[in-house]
Amino acid sequence: MLSTPVASRRGAEDSVSTGMIPYNAPMQQDTRAGTGNGRALKIIVTGGAGFIGSALIRHLIATTGHEILNLDKLTYAGNLDSLVMVAGDPRYRFIRGDIGDEGLLRRLFAEFDPDGIIHLAAESHVDRSIDGPRAFIETNILGTFTLLQAARAHLETLAEARRARFRFHHVSTDEVYGSLGPQGSFTETTAYDPRSPYSASKAASDHLVSAWAHTYGLPIVITNCSNNYGPYQFPEKLIPLCLIKALAGEQLPVYGKGENIRDWLHVEDHARALALVFESGRRGETYNIGGNAERRNIDVVTGLCDVLDRIRPRDDGASYREQISFVADRPGHDLRYAIDSAKIRRELGWTPRESFETGLAATVAWYLDHPEWWRAILARDAATARRGLKEPA
């Protein structure tokens, strides 16, 4: 029985086979690691108190029979308030801990005995990586290495049938591909060209996962997603940042001229895709996940203002657009990202359910309906402060 540390809202924590699984082994009917064949699994989700991780856990508990162990260090962006609706479920447990802690990982793998890992734990904000890159190297690269070693050791203890359905699902970003011009989209074969300390650290972790598959036979899948948005997002990111500042009557900061383009993906669509890839994706494969919703940053912010104008108009009757302010650009700011998600659509039948317009309206409504969630964050963290202004060395 796992002993979970006492927690506050922010922190509570067969026969052996040694044959390697071929790196690109096709998925067979009885080796699918999911509920499609009635099998419930034990899954370690790292970083499960973060924005995407908590959405994934809520989805898995609500729609599958899987048992989830959430391993999260609870850094500034980790928030157990995002998981209160599953906290009492007997199939969910939380351990506060670091993926770089070898001793903790050995104990968790031995006691929980997982059938798979979905690895989301990461430092993820570009501006913070510009100010302080060390944490990104330690967590995203060294932490992933430590987790890979623990997973490899655990795999060697499993009987053949469990080895066949075990997988290490590494969740990554489209930022590893670099910046696009006005045309084209990132595919799974696009060469890596990271431009920030954050994206470089994620690119390194992607390469480690791929190397552990090729060299040691670790059964892996990798997903690279576009910009996520939706409920429970930490308010340093563009949409919640501007929403909260708009409500406070503050200026809405738009970097440069607002011409940078991102492909926007609702977090609940992403959670569905992650579960589908974990359960049914082909081992050794990479899947790009995008919302097919390219928008300039200025269009995202004006769209947000328009939603607020409709459902929470300003007292003076003016538009929230009047609060938009163009500020100094981020150093090395990538111009455009766009995801080609044809592979996951073709192979696994996934498509996003939310358009950007419906998703943005639902997101704004959620933040308006849940001020206690984001106000608690603002009370303990300067989440809306400007970061990432240091010039490259």
Q: Which residues are catalytic?
A: 174-175, 198
| Separation CA 140–CA 200 (nearest Å) | 10
* Strand ranges, E, within the chain: 42-46, 67-72, 92-96, 116-119, 167-173, 220-225, 227-229, 252-255, 261-266, 286-289, 294-296, 324-327
Q: Are strands 261-266 and 294-296 parallel, antiparallel or unpaired?
A: antiparallel
| Residues 112, 106: Cα–Cα separation, whole Å | 10
* Torsion of Cα atoms, 93 then 98 then 103 then 104, to 10°: -10
Cα 214–chain centre separation: 24
Handedness of CA 52, 233, 199, 135 (dihedral sign): negative
Say which amino acid occupies 322: E
Which residues, 6+ apart, have CB-to-CB distance to 19 below 8 Å? 160, 163
Report the SS3 class of residue 18: coil
CA distance linking residue 327 with residue 320, whole number of Å: 17
